[in-house]
């Protein structure tokens, strides 16, 4: 849908939304436009696909199926309509507070959020797998093929990147249903429980990547990353904590390429290049820092 086009023409094609009494664009969303749509009977969120799904590796069919699985787990919103011809997904509106990074400073919120992630991981299986090693390689090839801008030293860390995945593969974990994009805005807290939204990049994955991704997306300091890992595992081993911290590194280095692709292709008025650089610089700090070798040893020994 063009940036300046009213959503009414699109919504008119979804019978469930024909009697709408309110349409309100929701903030956030870097690959979609999201609307709250109220009818006399219910409130919905309508996600309208925007960015080039092929370049970003988004499977809309899998997104719908995994959204339904997350709802069945009691964690996600109910799916009411899926119109791939329109690029539209209609889900239930979840009342509650959308979290921000600072929300996780509250230990009760942190525990509720970790419980939601644990319930998702224990829920019905997801369609497809999410492998950040393969995703990063695909994104890197997209950047190379299209000549998109990239930090000139990005590939200097290729050997260390390979070493991280070689160590993790020594003791592979059972894959669980993962969102893989749990930034703060994808947590909805009603004060009793937290629900999780946005399953564009969902798929079976190692739980430690999920935890590490949230830790870095939400800017957790080391002590909060430990508390987050403990809230999920109960009594994590040193190896589990190491795998979570390596999950943060994998998230930063891999998803930074997402930002550089979006910087070259997205019509949205957003600093995607700065978004990518921020994550890349965090990854570089770990690649070049004093703790990487210790994390690799601890992950290998667990």
- pTM to 2 decimal places: 0.93
Mean pLDDT computed over 211-216: 98
In a domain, residue 148? The reply is: yes
**Quick one: pLDDT at residue 51?**
58
Task: Please report the pLDDT score of residue 1 as a whole number.
Answer: 46
How many independent structural domains does the chain possess? 2
User: In which band, very low, low, confident or very high, does the pLDDT at 269 lie, cut at 50, 70 and 90?
Assistant: confident
Assess contact for 178 and 132: CB atoms under 8 A. no
Q: Provide the pLDDT confidence category of residue 2 given band limits of 50, 70 and 90.
A: very low
Average pLDDT over residues 30-42: 89
192 plus 228 within the same structural domain: yes
CB 189 within 8 A of CB 135: no
Choose among 59, 87, 53, 50: nearest CA to 267. Answer: 50
Confidence of residue 206 (pLDDT cuts 50, 70, 90): very high
Note whether 238 and 158 are same-domain residues: yes
Find all residues with CB under 8 Å of 71, minimum gap 6, and list them. 77, 78, 79
Q: What pLDDT shows up at residue 52? A: 67
Q: Are residues 115 and 256 part of one domain?
A: yes
**Residue 126's pLDDT band (boundaries 50, 70, 90)?**
very high
Residues 117/231, Cβ–Cβ less than 8 Å? no
Same domain membership, residue 155 and residue 13:
no
Helices marked H in the chain: 8-11, 53-56, 60-72, 107-121, 132-146, 158-170, 207-217, 222-233, 238-265, 272-287, 292-301
* Torsion angle, alpha carbons of 190, 193, 199, 201, to 10: 120
Question: In whole angstroms, what is the distance from residue 302 CA to residue 291 CA?
Answer: 17
Beta-bridge mates of residue 25: 35
Domain range for 183 is 97-301
Q: Is 17 helix (H, G, I), strand (E, B) or coil?
A: helix
- The residues facing 147 across adjacent strands are none
CATH of residue 86's domain is: 3.30.200.20
Give Cβ neighbours of residue 55 (< 8 Å, ≥ 6 apart): 142, 261, 265
The mean per-residue pLDDT over the stretch 231-258 comes to 97
Residue bearing tokens 């911290």:
245
For residues 85 and 39, membership in a common domain is answered with yes
Please state the rounded mean pLDDT for residues 153-182. 96
Do 116 and 236 have their domain in common?
Answer: yes
Q: pLDDT for 147-159, tens place per residue?
A: 999 999 999 999 9
CA 302 to chain centre: 26
What letters, b where the CB count within 10 A reaches 16 and e where it falls short, cover 162-181? eebeebbeeeeeebbbbbbb
Which residue, 47, 65, 92, sits at the end of a domain?
92
Of residues 203 and 34, the one with the higher pLDDT is 203
Q: What is the mean pLDDT of residues 262-267?
A: 91
d(CA 131, CA 169): 12
- Portion of the chain with pLDDT greater than 90, in percent: 88
Last residue of a domain, one of 34, 62, 92: 92
207, 294: one domain: yes
pLDDT for res 267: 84
Q: Please tell me whether residues 133 and 82 are part of one structural domain.
A: no
């Amino acid at each position: 849908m063009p940036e300046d086009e009213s959503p009414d023409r699109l919504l008119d094609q979804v019978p469930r939304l024909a009697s709408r009494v309110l349409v309100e664009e929701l903030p956030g969303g870097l690959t979609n436009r999201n609307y709250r749509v109220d009818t006399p009977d219910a409130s919905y969120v309508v996600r309208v696909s925007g960015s080039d799904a092929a370049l970003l590796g988004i499977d809309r069919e899998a997104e719908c199926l995994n959204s339904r699985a997350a709802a069945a787990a009691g964690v996600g919103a109910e799916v009411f309509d899926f119109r791939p011809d329109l690029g539209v997904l209609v889900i239930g509106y979840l009342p509650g507070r959308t979290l921000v990074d600072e929300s996780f400073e509250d230990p009760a919120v942190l525990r509720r959020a970790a419980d939601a992630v644990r319930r998702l991981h224990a829920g019905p299986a997801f369609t497809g797998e999410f492998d950040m090693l393969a995703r990063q390689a695909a994104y890197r090839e997209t950047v190379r093929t299209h000549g998109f801008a990239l930090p000139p030293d990005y590939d200097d860390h290729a050997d260390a990147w390979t070493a991280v995945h070689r160590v993790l593969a020594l003791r592979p974990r059972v894959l669980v249903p993962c969102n893989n994009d749990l930034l703060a805005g994808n947590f909805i807290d009603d004060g009793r429980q937290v629900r999780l939204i946005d399953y564009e990049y969902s798929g079976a994955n190692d739980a430690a990547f999920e935890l590490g991704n949230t830790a870095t997306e939400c800017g957790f300091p080391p002590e909060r990353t430990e508390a987050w890992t403990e809230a999920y595992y109960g009594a994590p081993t040193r190896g589990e904590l190491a795998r979570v911290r390596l999950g943060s590194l994998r998230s930063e280095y891999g998803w930074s390429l997402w930002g550089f692709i979006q910087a070259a292709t997205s019509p949205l008025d957003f600093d995607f290049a700065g978004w990518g650089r921020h994550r890349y610089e965090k990854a570089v700090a770990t690649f070049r820092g004093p703790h990487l070798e210790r994390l690799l040893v601890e992950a290998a020994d667990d």
